[in-house]
Each structure stands twice: as structure tokens, then as C-alpha cells.
Amino acid sequence: MKILKYLFLLLLLSLVALTVFVATQKGIFSVERSKVINSPKAAVYNYVNDFRNYEDFESWAVEDPTLQFTFPNKTSGNGGSFYWSGEEGTGNAVTLKTKDGESIEQKMKYDGTEADVTWTFKDTLAGKTKVTWKAKGTMSFLFKVYAALNGGSDKVIGTIYEKSLANIDKNLDYETKTYAVQVNGVVKKTETPYIKQTFTSEIPKINKNARIVIPKLIHFSETNGLSTSGKPFIIYHTYDTAKGLAKISICLPINKEISISSGSDILSGKLNAFDAVKTTLKGDYSHTNEAIAKTTAYINNEKIIPELSWSHLEVLEASRLDVKSPSKLITDIYFPIKPKVVPAAVTTPDYSTETGTETAPAKPAVQKPVTQKPAAPAAATPAAKPEEEQSEF
């Protein structure tokens, strides 16, 4: 019995000593890890900027099957957030500030432990990206105990960061390299009314702008009792690769033509039917240039005459608002072309006789081929603007 008492006292003293040791340790921690990711900076930034991807790369999330994630409507950009809960506790994170393509600042809380988190993204050689992940904060008492027993906060958190960065590299390497481009050939794009916002954008930021504008268009349609009639699309009025700028209209198709009062930043229009070469891109938007190049080659090889009054149209069949994985994005691209010339009917010669005398055959009257004027989206026609600004609401 005395031996048991001594062992109990020894255990108690050890526990008290550990408690005193942990309590006197600083609760502040600072951890930083970096890794070169084998993907372009824009792809890495977009991936990290969306909290929906964290359950796929955060090592503690990947390794803990008990975790349950909750994602609100906004998971990326300023104000984006997510929540998690599991057997070992609950937590949440929110994005406080972003600098597009350059950095992300977040606040993370986990059972009394809080941290200010910063991500930075730098271009490196061969299109790769150096990612630096830094956290600075205060530990809860339980986390201090855990860290003390496992080599300190830098080792515990640093190991999590190292594994997570490796997961980002592996996941993005698959996601960005898994894609397909198919030129479908000549099609007729049917007409449709739509609501839109029109502006000039830097080309790399178009899809980011689409993620901002499309929810606004959806909210406008729901507020005004409009029914959508298809997937959102983007009209490229101009596409200047030299300047890196494009004039675009981000559109939501609706089931009827409407008029909108002047002063609104959302306008209406109608996409007239037009002939086009259709190309489907399955995968990340970074492969859009390859889709454009293949379509241009097809148009040249088939000796098709392009319609140059505007650039092209992209239908977002599956956008970042629908799926989180870049490999699952689907974009249908329509390049306007001039309709084929339709020859008019040829008059048949009339070999008739009159009063027994054969008349000479009349010279066939051949009309010149009539070239139909190509249809272009109403958004590109300035004359349509006054009508768009009339309101029925």
C-alpha cells in the first residue's frame, strides 16, 4: 500500500510540476513555413482563397474523419468564412483582407487558441509559386500542454503547415493539369433576353469579377420576379491581349424581355441569334488561351469567315460558384462567324412559241448572291441602350 501511495504522490507531483511549467510558459506563438508550389500564382491564390478547399488540403482536416464542415454562402474573398466541429473541438476562420493574387489575411479560432494568419504568393521561375504561410497568436492552456508534450508550438503547428502545403501542391498539380479542349464545329446560338452589367476589366480578373457580379444578377432577378432561362454568360465586346484588357458584359439569361429604369447599374438586353464556332473547355480557366488558339486554327483551316464586330461569348456551364474543383469547371465558348452566302434562285429560260414562230431563248437572269447580315449581341449595339433604360417595375 505504501508503494501505491508513493507512486500516487509522485504522479501528483509530476502533474503539479507540469502544470506549473506549462502555466509559466509564454502563450504567444509565431510559426512560418514556405513551399514552392508547381502551379501558376493565380491558380494557387484562387485555391487558397476559397475556404471550401480547406477540407481537401488542411492536414488536420484530411486526417480527422470526425470533422464536420459548415460553409456559408460566402467562402472566398473579404468576409469569406467557414466553421468546423469534431471530437477534439470546434473552430472557425474568416478572411479579413485580400490583395488579389498577392496576399490573404485571416483570423482563426480553435477552442481558445486564436491566430492571425497571413498567406503570401510570389512568382518563381517556370511558372511556379512560392507560398509563405504564417500564423501568430495565443494558445489556450490545453494547447500549451499539448505543445509542451510534443516538442513546442513551432513543431506542432509547423508540421501541420508542411503537410498542408504538400497537399496543396499535389491537389493543384492534378486539378490544373486535368483538362480537355474540344472544338465542336459550327452551331447556331439561339437568341435570349438577359440582364447584365457592362464594364472594362483586366483579363486575368474577369472570372473573379464574374463571381462577384453573377450573385448580384441572381438577387436582382429573384427580387423582381424574373425566371432565369439558362446558365450565366459573358459577352466579350473587345479582347485586347496586348493591353490585357477586355470590355465585357456579364449576363444572366431571363425568360422575357424587360426594360429597366435609368440609373440602375444593371441593364437589360437581348442576344440575337448568330452563327458561331463552339468550343468546350473542361478544366481550369488558365487553359482558355489554348481553347482560343485551337478555335482560331479550326476557323482558318475550314476557311470560315469570322465576324469581327465583337470578340466571343463564354457560357459558364459549371463555374466556381457551382464547383470547387478547377478540373470540374465547364465553359462553352462561342466565336461569332459570318453566315454562309445563300444564292438566290436562278430564272429558268422560257422556250415558248408565238403565232407559229419560235422565239429566241431569253437570257437567264441571275441575281447576285445575297449575304445575310450577321447577328450580333444586342449589348454591342449602342442604339439599344435607351430602350434598356426604360423600366417596367
In whole angstroms, give the CA distance from residue 172 to residue 149: 34
Q: Is the pTM of this model over 0.85?
A: no
Alpha helices for the chain (secondary structure H) = 2-24, 41-49, 54-57, 59-63, 141-149, 153-177, 206-223, 288-301, 385-388
Specify the CATH number of the domain 22-177.
Answer: 3.30.530.20
Cell of 366: 441571275
Give the containing element (helix H, strand E) for 249.
Answer: strand 245-253
Cell of 5: 501511495
| pLDDT at 13 (0 to 100) | 53
- Give the tens place of pLDDT for each residue, 38-62: 999 989 999 999 999 999 999 988 8
Topology given in CATH for the domain delimited by 182-336: Multidrug-efflux Transporter 1 Regulator Bmrr; Chain A (3.20.80)
The answer to whether the beta carbons of residues 329 and 323 sit under 8 Å apart is: yes
pLDDT-based confidence at residue 340 (cuts at 50, 70, 90): confident
| pLDDT at 65 (0 to 100) | 82
Domain ranges of the chain: 22-177, 182-336
Are 22-177 and 182-336 in the same CATH fold?
no
Average pLDDT over residues 248-265: 92
In whole angstroms, give the CA distance from residue 184 to residue 299: 12
| pLDDT at 372 (0 to 100) | 42
Residue 389 has pLDDT above 90, yes or no: no
Residue 147 has pLDDT above 90, yes or no: no
Average pLDDT over residues 361-384: 40
352 or 174: which leads in pLDDT: 174
Of the candidates 129, 144, 313, the one whose C-alpha atom is nearest the C-alpha of residue 237 is: 313
Residue 25 has pLDDT above 80, yes or no: no
Paired strand residues for 199:
248
Q: How many percent of the chain have pLDDT more than 70?
A: 80
Average pLDDT, the chain: 84
Cell of 36: 514552392
Give the Cα-Cα-Cα angle 359, 363, 365 (nearest 5 degrees): 135
Q: What count of other Cβ atoms lies within 10 Å of the Cβ of residue 324?
A: 19
The answer to whether the beta carbons of residues 380 and 273 sit under 8 Å apart is: no
Residue 354 has pLDDT above 50, yes or no: no
| pLDDT at 241 (0 to 100) | 92
Give the Cα-Cα-Cα angle 349, 350, 351 (nearest 5 degrees): 115
Of the candidates 135, 3, 124, the one whose C-alpha atom is nearest the C-alpha of residue 58 is: 135
Residue 353 has pLDDT above 70, yes or no: no
Concatenating the DSSP letter of every residue in 52-112 gives GGHHHH-HHHHH-TT-EEE--S--BSTT-EEEEEETTEEEEEEEEEEETTTEEEEEEEETT
| pLDDT at 367 (0 to 100) | 43
Residue 36 has pLDDT above 80, yes or no: yes
- Give the tens place of pLDDT for each residue, 271-288: 999 999 999 999 999 899
